[in-house]
Amino acid sequence: EDQVTQSPEALRLQEGESSSLNCSYTVSGLRGLFWYRQDPGKGPEFLFTLYSAGEEKEKERLKATLTKKESFLHITAPKPEDSATYLCAVQEWGNAGNMLTFGGGTRLMVKP
Amino acid sequence: DTGVSQDPRHKITKRGQNVTFRCDPISEHNRLYWYRQTLGQGPEFLTYFQNEAQLEKSRLLSDRFSAERPKGSFSTLEIQRTEQGDSAMYLCASSPDRGEQYFGPGTRLTVT
C-alpha cells in the first residue's frame, strides 16, 4: 500500500529564513509526485509535478526536487504570504484512475 | 478562467439527514475525483469518474455514500443518514486524461 510521510508537521520561519520540507514515499512504481499548497478553508492549489529522480522544478521562491525515495520542497527567503500547508501526493503506475495518495502536510508559518 | 466550482461551500446538518453536494469540473476535463479531508490531514480519495462512468470507489465510501456524473458533466455526491463522523471537507478535483488534478474550493460539512 502506498505511503506518503511529510516532515516536519509544522515549521515556523522568520521572513528570509530559507528551509526545506520533506516528503518520503513508498510506492511500487512512481508515476508522478505532486506538490500542492493549501490555504485555510480552501482547496489545494497545484504547484509542481515531478516524474523522475533528479528532476527539479522552480516557481518563484519554491524549488521542488525528487529522488527515488523522497522529495524536497525548498523555500528560499520566504515571505509571510508563503504561510500555508504544503501537501505532497503520489500517483502509482498501474493505477488506472490516477488517484492521488496524499501525505499529512507541513504547516508553514512565516513571521515578518 | 473557470476553475472547478463546488456548491454549497458550507453545509450544517443534523445527524440522520441526507445531504447532496455538487461539483462542476473544468469543462474540457473528462476525469473527476472526490476526496475527503479531515482537520490536520491530507485529502483521502473517495471515488473517480471518467466521463459518466464511475470506475473506482474507495473502501472509505460506505453504502450511505453515492456519487453520480450524468452525461459526463457536473457530479453530485450524496450522503444518506449522515453521522457525526462524516463531518469533513469534501473536495472535488478534475483533470484531463493525463495531467495534474485541479481542486475546487471544497464543501465543509458539519454534522451536529
> Does residue B1 register a pLDDT over 60?
no
Shortest alpha-carbon distance between residue A60 and chain B (Å):
20
Whether residue A53 has pLDDT greater than 80:
yes
Average pLDDT, integer, range A23-35: 93
**Does any CB of chain B come closer than 8 Å to the CB of residue A90?**
no
Whether the CA torsion A82, A84, A85, A90 is positive or negative: it is negative
Mean pLDDT of B27-55: 94
| B67–chain A nearest CA distance, Å | 16
Q: Chain B residue closest to A5 (CA)?
A: B42
pLDDT at A106: 98
Q: Is A96 exposed, middle or buried (0-12, 13-18, 19+ CB in 10 A)?
A: exposed
Residue B33 has pLDDT above 60, yes or no: yes
The lowest-confidence range among A1-5, A44-48, A94-98, B29-33 is: A94-98
Confidence class of residue A1 from pLDDT cuts 50, 70 and 90?
A: low
Given a cut of 70, whether residue A96 has pLDDT beyond it is: no
> Residue B107 contacts by C-beta under 8 Å, 6 or more apart in sequence?
B6, B7, B8, B9, B10, B11, B21, B89, B90
- How many CA within 13 A on the CB side of residue A95? 23
Q: Which has the closest alpha carbon to B67: B8, B23, B25?
A: B23
* Interchain CB distance below 8 Å, A4 and B100: no
Count CB neighbours of A22 within 10 A: 15
Q: Does B4 touch chain A (CB under 8 A)?
A: yes
Q: How confident is the model at residue B85 (pLDDT cuts 50, 70, 90)?
A: very high
**Whose grid coordinates read 455514500?**
B65
Selected for mutation to probe chain B from A23, A38, A48, A99 (highest B CB count within 10 Å) is: A99
How do B10-13 and B65-68 pair as beta strands?
unpaired
Q: Where are the beta strands (DSSP E) in B30-101?
A: 31-37, 44-50, 53-57, 65-68, 75-79, 88-95
pLDDT value of position B13 = 98
Shortest Cα–Cα distance, B82 to chain A (Å): 22
**Residue A93 pLDDT greater than 90, yes or no:** no
